[in-house]
Amino acid sequence: MTYSSTDGLRVELDSSGVLRLTLDRPEKRNALDDGMVSALIDTVDEAGRDEAVRVILLTGAGDHFCGGFDIVSRNQPGGQKPRAGSIQRRLPSQAHRLIPLVLTVQTPVVCAARGWAAGIGLHLLVAADVAVLADDARLWEPFSERGFTPDSGGTWLLPRRVGEVRAREMLLLGRPVDGTEASQWGLVHRSVPDDQLEAAAESIVLELARGATVALGLTKWLMHAGQSLTLEEHLRNEAFALELSSRSEDFREGLTAFKEKRSPDFKGR
CA 64/CA 232 separation, integer angstroms: 44
Per DSSP, the residues of 238-263 read HHHHHHHHTTSHHHHHHHHHHHTTS-
CA 105/CA 84 separation, integer angstroms: 33
For 184, other C-beta atoms within 10 Å of its C-beta total 12
Span 132-149, pLDDT tens digits: 999 999 999 999 888 888
Q: How confident is the model at residue 214 (pLDDT cuts 50, 70, 90)?
A: very high
Average pLDDT over residues 152-163: 95
Dihedrals phi, psi of 263, to nearest 5 degrees: -75, 140
Under a CB-based contact definition with an 8 Å cutoff, are residues 68 and 32 in contact?
yes
Q: What is the mean pLDDT of the chain?
A: 93
Average pLDDT over residues 248-253: 95
* pTM of model > 0.95: no
Asked whether residue 108 carries a pLDDT value surpassing 80, the answer given is yes
CA 178/CA 243 separation, integer angstroms: 42
| Residues composing the chain | 269
Q: Which residues contact residue 43 at a Cβ distance below 8 angstroms, ignoring those fewer than 6 apart? A: 3, 9, 11, 19, 21
Say which DSSP state 68 is in: -
Which of 49, 267, 32 shows the shortest CA–CA distance to 19?
49
Task: Give the pLDDT confidence score for residue 63 in this predicted structure.
Answer: 97
Q: How confident is the model at residue 74 (pLDDT cuts 50, 70, 90)?
A: low
Span 174-184, pLDDT tens digits: 999 999 999 99
Average pLDDT over residues 162-178: 96
Average pLDDT over residues 214-231: 95
